[in-house]
């Protein structure tokens, strides 16, 4: 008899476990995980300004933003960008560009500028953009509209001509007396830029003072730091301490690997490169589960204070890998919406709001076509959602993403974010079909029923562990309750 009892336990316990988890196909009853997957917190050594908490950022490449390619021409777009709901503008490098070893495309007959990241002088403005008065007026106009603006700085290198390399060659990395080009984090040689010697204390002090100059003289609100992966953490610690003595700042790192130590000493945010690459793979047919696995790994590695910038487009992706339609096809809106509701800060790349369907040239004159199909209402709706739902705020100011298991996880990504503190009641349930074909699913939310409101249609919808949810290709639902 005892043997029959043990045999029954061996059979029934695993069966009960799978019914409880609700992940079998066809689906069985289950419960949603209430485990908040927050890792050990990073304790920052600085204070972040309040305006970063629910910020949405918008990237501007002055050279291609308008036909004129000037600061004055950018001003005519500011009210439109403000009306979207954008909080922070990221201004790509505004410095003069080196002529020596300048990168161009021989077959391109349009005016050659070279890479904006091959700067010749960190204390000057590219004359094609305007002068100091024009920049002062642009920054003031941005502030008058209640927005902030960060400057794209190039901390790891310069171009091959200009003040630093001509008058201070000892500030650069040398081998056998020869200044060395930059080697990227992927091992690629970038021949148009020269590597700074980050062990040189004179260069380090000049580097710090340049940052201070742009805050003091032009009232920028922080920096986006290019190739932040190449800079020692000690630089960032000293820089943040010096900048915070001038004004509160927001710092964005082009890095993903060194997030924990960078978040601790300097940066609120870094790049969600991995999230972007996983989204592209899913658009190509990879299972949706890979995204959740990645984002959970990121949280464990980076801690709770900082957050990643999520995107479907930026200047690198657009130029070198493709437009939104090239990378995501009919799923462009779906994946873009996802960047607004997963953990992190969403980025809008200039032109996305008019369905930019062009790879903007990086080295030559080019121009955004602003007559494309409008997505203004789409972005306004998403930004309003980000601002109004506390659960979706950035980093520790919002709520962690909790996976809701479902019966079609290869195609459907379902999760919840909820924040019930400080007088807020914010509960956001997201169900995304990340595939190019219709799918249906049942959510594993236990024995309870929830009455929610569809954010886009305002229709009430009840979800429970018995109801089948049908989604068209790349359809998504964002439910509030």
Work out the burial of residue 281: count CB atoms within 10 Å of its CB; fewer than 13 is exposed, 13-18 middle, 19 or more buried.
Answer: middle
What pLDDT score does 291 carry? 96
Q: State the pLDDT at residue 224.
A: 98
pLDDT of residue 353: 98
Give the ranges where 162-272 is alpha helix by DSSP (H): 163-167, 201-218, 233-244, 259-265
- Quote helix, strand, coil % in the chain, to nearest 5: 35, 20, 45
> Can you give the pLDDT at residue 40?
56
| Torsion sign across C-alpha atoms 323, 117, 257, 35 | negative
What is the pLDDT at residue 189? 96
| CA angle (225 as vertex; 297, 95 as ends), nearest 5 | 155
Residue-by-residue DSSP string for 37-77: ---SPP--SS---GGGTT--EEEE-HHHHSSS-SHHHHHTT
Angle, CA 392 vertex, CA 389 and CA 393 arms, to 5°: 100
250/411 Cα distance (integer angstroms): 36
Per-residue model confidence (pLDDT) at position 185: 85
CB 194 within 8 A of CB 227: no
15 vs 19: CA distance, rounded Å: 6
- Do 254 and 182 meet the contact criterion of CB atoms below 8 Å apart? no
Task: Find residue 153's DSSP bridge partners.
Answer: 225
**Per-residue DSSP letters for 399-465?**
---EE--BTTTTTEEEEEEEE--TT--EEEEEEEE-SSS-EEEEB--TT--EEEEETTT--EEEE-S
As a whole number of angstroms, the distance between CA 72 and CA 66 comes to 10
Choose among 403, 224, 434: nearest CA to 329: 434
Low-confidence stretches of the chain (pLDDT beneath 50):
1-38
Report residue 248 as tokens: 């509160």
């Amino acid at each position: 008899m005892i043997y029959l009892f043990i045999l029954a336990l061996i059979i029934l316990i695993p069966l009960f476990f799978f019914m409880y988890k609700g992940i079998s196909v066809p689906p069985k009853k289950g419960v949603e995980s209430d485990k908040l997957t927050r890792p050990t917190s990073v304790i920052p050594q600085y204070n972040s300004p309040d305006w970063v908490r629910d910020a949405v950022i918008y990237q501007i490449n002055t050279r291609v933003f308008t036909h004129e390619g000037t600061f004055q021409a950018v001003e005519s777009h500011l009210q439109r960008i403000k009306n979207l709901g954008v909080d922070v503008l990221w201004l790509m490098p505004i410095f003069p560009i080196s002529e020596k070893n300048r990168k161009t495309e021989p077959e391109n007959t349009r005016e050659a500028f070279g890479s904006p990241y091959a700067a010749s002088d960190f204390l000057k403005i590219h004359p094609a953009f305007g002068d100091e008065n024009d920049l002062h007026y642009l920054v003031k106009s941005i502030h008058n509209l209640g927005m902030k603006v960060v400057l794209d700085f190039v901390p790891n290198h310069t171009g091959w001509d200009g003040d630093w390399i001509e008058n201070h060659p000892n500030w650069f990395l040398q081998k056998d007396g020869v200044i060395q080009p930059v080697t990227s984090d992927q091992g690629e040689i970038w021949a148009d830029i020269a590597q700074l010697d980050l062990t040189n204390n004179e260069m380090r002090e000049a580097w710090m003072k340049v940052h201070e100059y742009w805050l003091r003289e032009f009232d920028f609100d922080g920096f986006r730091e290019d190739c932040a992966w190449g800079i020692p953490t000690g630089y960032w610690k000293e820089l943040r301490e010096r900048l915070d003595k001038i004004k509160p700042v927001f710092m964005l790192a082009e890095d993903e690997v060194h997030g924990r130590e960078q978040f601790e000493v300097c940066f609120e945010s870094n790049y969600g490169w991995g999230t972007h690459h996983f989204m592209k793979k899913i658009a190509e047919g990879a299972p949706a589960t890979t995204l959740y696995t990645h984002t959970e790994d990121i949280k464990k590695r980076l801690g709770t204070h900082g957050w990643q910038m999520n995107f479907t487009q930026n200047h690198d992706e657009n130029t070198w890998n493709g437009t939104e339609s090239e990378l995501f096809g009919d799923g462009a809106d779906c994946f873009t919406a996802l960047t607004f509701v997963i953990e992190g800060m969403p980025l809008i790349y200039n032109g996305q709001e008019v369905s930019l369907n062009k790879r903007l040239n990086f080295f030559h004159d080019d121009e955004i076509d602003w007559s494309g199909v409008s997505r203004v209402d789409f972005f306004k709706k998403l930004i309003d959602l980000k601002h109004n739902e506390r659960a979706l705020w950035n980093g520790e100011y919002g709520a962690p993403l909790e996976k809701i298991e479902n019966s079609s996880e290869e195609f459907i990504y379902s999760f919840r974010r909820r924040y019930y503190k400080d007088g807020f009641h914010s509960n956001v349930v997201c169900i995304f079909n990340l595939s190019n074909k219709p799918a249906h699913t049942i959510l594993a939310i236990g024995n309870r029923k929830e009455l929610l409101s569809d954010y886009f249609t305002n229709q009430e919808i009840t979800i429970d562990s018995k109801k089948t949810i049908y989604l068209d290709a790349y359809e998504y639902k964002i439910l509030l309750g």
